[in-house]
Amino acid sequence: MKTRAILVFSWLAGVALFVAGIAFFYGPATPNNGDITIEIAQLAENQLSNFVYVGAVYLCYILFIPVVVLLTAHLFSYRPIGSVIASTLFCLGGAVEMAATLASLSRWVYAIPEGGKGNATAIGLFQTLTVQFLVLDFAGVALVYAAAIIYAILLWKMHRPTSYLLLISTFFLLVGIPATLISAHFGMFLSMLSILTYTVACVGIGYVVRKLVRMGTLGFATDTEPTG
């Protein structure tokens, strides 16, 4: 992969991640209004957001996983265990996230169209698929952010700005989740800050990979750790 392609993939993956984050808050998640039929009707109005969310998630991981694989191959030369664990967590988290989008997308096949009409079977299916989507999505996000923490440690000496971005993104997420119990809007704001920061971190990781490729650090155990 040419070094310019690495940066292009990183930029596009970051943009796709940000688009997915925006679309998530408009479409796939279930609004908490108490009346399930109202929730279904509101989701039906945001069908486009759901498709945008699904497409953006797939595009993000399809573009960024090759960058992660390259990063792992080059970090392995001096941080073998950490690089393998981080890449495994990220790739597994991506796979889980993509599976979650399918659960969200499948609600539009039958559950939402018929549930909006009051069909009890469709409403039950809608609730089941929504729970599956949210559980898988939460698990995928947890894995991806766990990878972010490990990458922040691995890249600390090499590219500290990217490490800071990954840690700040994780901080915003960890604060944003409990903040939703106090204020849904404030929690959403922190979550969006987390996604935006992770977006910039993706570009930073692309820069690091390009630097490692140019240095030709691919190989096995060495005592020389790239810095800069």
CA distance 158 to 121: 55
CA distance 49 to 55: 10
Instruction: Return the structure tokens found at 142.
Output: 């947890």
How many domains does one find in the chain? 1
Q: Give a yes or no: residue 223 inside a domain.
A: no
Indicate the helix (H) or strand (E) that contains 66: helix 47-75
Q: Give a yes or no: residue 226 inside a domain.
A: no
Q: Give a yes or no: residue 195 inside a domain.
A: yes
34 φ/ψ sector (left φ>0, alpha ψ -120 to 50, else beta)? left
What's the predicted TM-score (pTM) here? 0.84
Domain span at 126: 3-215
The pLDDT tens digits along the chain (228 residues) read: 567 888 899 999 999 999 988 887 776 555 455 567 766 766 766 677 788 888 999 999 999 999 999 999 888 888 889 999 999 999 999 999 999 888 888 877 777 777 777 778 878 888 888 888 889 989 999 999 999 999 999 999 888 999 999 999 999 999 988 888 888 778 888 888 999 999 999 999 999 988 888 776 554 444 455 555
Is residue 5 within 8 A of residue 56, CB to CB? The reply is no
Q: Give a yes or no: residue 10 inside a domain.
A: yes
